[in-house]
Structure 1
Amino acid sequence: MRFEVLGEVRVLRDGEPVDLGPAKQRAVLAVLLLHAGRTVPTHQIVDAVWGYEPPENGANVVQKHIAGLRRLLDPDRAPRTPSELIALTPAGYVLRLDGHTLDADQFSAAVAGAATADAVRVALAFWRGEALAGLTGPFFDAARARLAEGQATAWERWAELELGRGRDAALVPELARLVEQFPLREGLRAHLMIALSRCGRQAEALAAFQSARSYLVDQFGTEPGELLQEAHRRILRGEAPPAYVAPLPPVSPAPYAPEPRPARVRVRIPYGEIAFAVAVPIVTFTVGAWVYFLYAAARYHDRKLYLAVALYVGMLATWLTCIALDPTPEDMNDTTTTDVIGMTTIVATAFFSAVHGAVVATHRAAVTAVTAALSARSGGGQLAAGNILDKLD
């Protein structure tokens, strides 16, 4: 069988996809794959799959999903016999890949052995999309970020080899796309500046540096690292900067190995965004409660926030409908029970949406800080890694 995590999690048996069952069962398999060959305690599986909302009988639910996976992945196993694929140990469950393959391992090995740009592109073909696509939660977000670092490093390696072949002009559009996909990678931005400079497009190369600086200052309050600073100085002096050499990603499954200790991250509180989130529903008297969430959904590309937009727009529509259908004459001076309930609902909604917006803004700042710290800790040419760690750790 072939196991894949560089895209949607799936299993192929003789080239045909295996139906992995419910979404949570697929997530349990993903946790085991990310620790392939290593025992995972049951409570860690529960934490990874269900996060802050674990089921009351988490161990039993995990056992049920493990049994389902065994039936699907090892159908020839005799009933009531130990599974060799997903084994139960005193410490937890372990998935053994003996005789099977995992695309993440194949990708790392292929990149490590690639001596040409074409060979690196062959390795990158293992990626079918965003790693662990469709799986949500802090555990999968962190694993996805670590896997993406290996992909970004491979792209840096490919660009370096292509620059060595003198394919500067052909590289520019591809590097521009990669910079947008991996904005924290200093190596990719440096390669783009080098390619532009070698094509005689110094002004655009300098603009690429200013774009990197603006991104860093806006997102993290820090300046570009030495790699980009040196490339910038060389372009200003009219010198052709040398190509940045990207270190190879490890062959072992280190991209998703557990950290030896949790990273200490200092979150940069976005006071302006929090003030905006709190002020809009209060100033607009609930009418604009949806505005901040629409802004946040678009900025952070979080589809869940669009549900909040729909919620507050729906509440506003309900409120306006009630006003339009209120049979109470407008010239009555007495305050009715309906008026009191309506006013209380409006005030409560304004307060709740203000608190909700402040929580979302703070949470997104924490996620951004953790992602940056993980990127910096993984090494290998990310944008201003040292400076970001100075700010966050």
Structure 2
Amino acid sequence: MRFEMLGELRVLRDGVPADLGPAKQRAVLAVLLVNAGRAVPTQQIVDAVWGEEPPENGANVVQKHIAGLRRVLDPDRAPRTPGELVALTPAGYVLRLDGHTVDAHEFTAAATRAPTAELVRAGLMLWRGEALAGLTGPFFDSARARLAEIHATAWERWAELELGRGRDAALVPELARLVEQFPLREGLRAHLMIALSRSGRQAEALAAFRSARDYLVEQFGTEPGELLQETHRRVLRGDQAPLPPPLLPAAVSEPAQVVADEPPVRLRIPYVEVLFAVLTPLVTFATGAWIYFVYAAAHHRERRLFVAAGVYAGLLVTAFVFMAVDPSPLDDGDAVSGAEAAGISIWLGTALVAAIHGAVVATHQAGVAALAAVSQRRTGPEPDGRSVRGGR
């Protein structure tokens, strides 16, 4: 059986495409295929396939799709027996590829380790279109981006090997097409300049550099990198062998496979805490401006917020002192003394600033919690069992 993801996802049994079922079931298979050989937790499958709109009973829905995939991929399996191709482990579901092939693995091996241009080109011919076409969401975007990076690097390596064989003039049309397809790859642009220069077309090689520079400046406001700059200098000198430094292929683990990033940790805004932080100083006419910061300092273990609480309390005292030192004359209801006006300004300003500051603190703490979750995911719990905390 052959699994293919360099285009639309498909599975071939004896060369015949299998019916993989509904779109969500195909997406579940894609998640397992991207992580082939590794267990994928059910919740990660739910996050990757459904994103921001997960089903209420996500685990049951995933189990249903797994059962459907087992019927397609392992039709000879006896009912109610453990799956061998799609297996359930304590860590999650795993797609086992013993004896089966994956086009992305074959391509990656050819792109990074094939010794000849012909073998690299054979790997490139495995592409049928955009990888994982039709599958949307951060998980699939990440996997697609990784494959696209290897794809572009493979073309650069192929061109380098062909230039090493002296096929300069014949490469120009193909390199021009590749530059148009991958405009950000300076390696391909450098190879085009080399091929043109070696073919006696120095003016066109210099024009290719100007085109690259104009594109980078216009699109990103940056100058070409050292690779293009050095190639440009060599073309100007008339160096007929200005090969750039060898391109280093992307490192690939054994077995070669593309592993997508972990699904992003979602930032959850604590709306109740934000409302508490905003409304407390406003409803209490600033007299309670310090209350939220005492709570936040204790709840989030941020000692500096005790200082903020003290500052707001001090501002309130200052406002009352100003209003008490030089009160308005009792016989003039419209008159307000300068000190009293200053006190009122400090009073109202304290309420407004404390409300805004409190909202920022509450939202910031949500971000700290999200970063802590990422840290824990990557480093695991500390030896004493406590989670890694962020923001401290």
Distance 1:7 1:54 in 2: 26
Deviations 1:108-159 (A, max 9, x none): 2233442221121112222122211121222212211111111212111111
Between the aligned residues of both structures, percent identity stands at 80
Match of 1:256 among 258, 278, 282: 258
Deviations 1:80-133 (A, max 9, x none): 111011111222111110111111111222334422211211122221222111
Distance 1:209 1:53 in 2: 47
What code does the residue aligned with 1:204 have?
Answer: E
Partner of 1:102: 102
Does the Cα contact within 8 Å between 1:108 and 1:250 map onto a contact in 2? no
Distance 2:165 2:191 in 1: 13
Change (3 A) 1:58 1:261: closer
Does the Cα contact within 8 Å between 2:193 and 2:208 map onto a contact in 1? yes
Secondary structure of the 1:203 match is helix
What code does the residue aligned with 1:62 have?
Answer: V
Deviation at 1:251, TM superposition (A): 4.4
What code does the residue aligned with 2:160 have?
Answer: E
Deviation at 1:232, TM superposition (A): 1.1
Does the Cα contact within 8 Å between 1:150 and 1:255 map onto a contact in 2? no
Partner of 1:183: 183
1:89-168 aligned at under 5 Å gives the runs 89-168=89-168
Deviation at 1:255, TM superposition (A): 6.2
Partner of 2:372: none
1:60-79 aligned at under 5 Å gives the runs 60-79=60-79
Does the Cα contact within 8 Å between 2:107 and 2:124 map onto a contact in 1? yes
Distance 1:241 1:95 in 2: 48
Does the Cα contact within 8 Å between 1:6 and 1:103 map onto a contact in 2? yes
1:1-393 aligned at under 5 Å gives the runs 1-240=1-240, 242-244=242-244, 245-252=246-253, 256-259=258-261
Change (3 A) 1:27 1:128: same
Deviation at 1:259, TM superposition (A): 4.8
Gaps of 5+ in 2: 265-392
Q: CA RMSD in A?
A: 2.1
Distance 1:189 1:149 in 2: 16
What code does the residue aligned with 2:220 have?
Answer: F
Deviations 1:311-336 (A, max 9, x none): xxxxxxxxxxxxxxxxxxxxxxxxxx
Deviation at 1:214, TM superposition (A): 2.5
Distance 1:148 1:135 in 2: 15
Does the Cα contact within 8 Å between 1:168 and 1:199 map onto a contact in 2? yes
Deviation at 1:218, TM superposition (A): 2.9
Does the Cα contact within 8 Å between 1:143 and 1:255 map onto a contact in 2? no
What code does the residue aligned with 1:203 have?
Answer: A
Does the Cα contact within 8 Å between 2:109 and 2:256 map onto a contact in 1? no
Deviation at 1:14, TM superposition (A): 1.2
Distance 1:18 1:171 in 2: 39
Does the Cα contact within 8 Å between 2:192 and 2:205 map onto a contact in 1? yes
Distance 2:262 2:9 in 1: 26
Change (3 A) 1:99 1:66: same
Distance 1:56 1:218 in 2: 48
Secondary structure of the 1:6 match is coil
Distance 1:37 1:146 in 2: 18
The count of residues paired between Structure 1 and Structure 2 equals 263
Change (3 A) 1:226 1:260: farther
Does the Cα contact within 8 Å between 2:196 and 2:202 map onto a contact in 1? yes
Distance 1:217 1:203 in 2: 21
Does the Cα contact within 8 Å between 1:6 and 1:126 map onto a contact in 2? yes
Secondary structure of the 1:256 match is coil
Does the Cα contact within 8 Å between 1:37 and 1:95 map onto a contact in 2? yes
Secondary structure of the 2:239 match is coil
Change (3 A) 1:92 1:17: same
Distance 2:208 2:59 in 1: 51
Does the Cα contact within 8 Å between 1:152 and 1:182 map onto a contact in 2? yes
Secondary structure of the 2:204 match is helix
Greater shift in the superposed pair: 10-19 or 209-218: 209-218
Partner of 2:390: none
TM-score by length of 1: 0.63
What code does the residue aligned with 1:66 have?
Answer: I
What code does the residue aligned with 1:248 have?
Answer: P
Query: Which structure has the higher relative contact order (CA within 8 Å, separation 6+)?
Result: 1
Does the Cα contact within 8 Å between 1:235 and 1:241 map onto a contact in 2? no
Does the Cα contact within 8 Å between 1:147 and 1:255 map onto a contact in 2? no
Does the Cα contact within 8 Å between 2:172 and 2:195 map onto a contact in 1? yes
Distance 2:243 2:257 in 1: 25
Does the Cα contact within 8 Å between 1:146 and 1:255 map onto a contact in 2? no
Deviation at 1:29, TM superposition (A): 0.6
What code does the residue aligned with 1:83 have?
Answer: G
Change (3 A) 1:58 1:241: farther
Secondary structure of the 1:78 match is coil
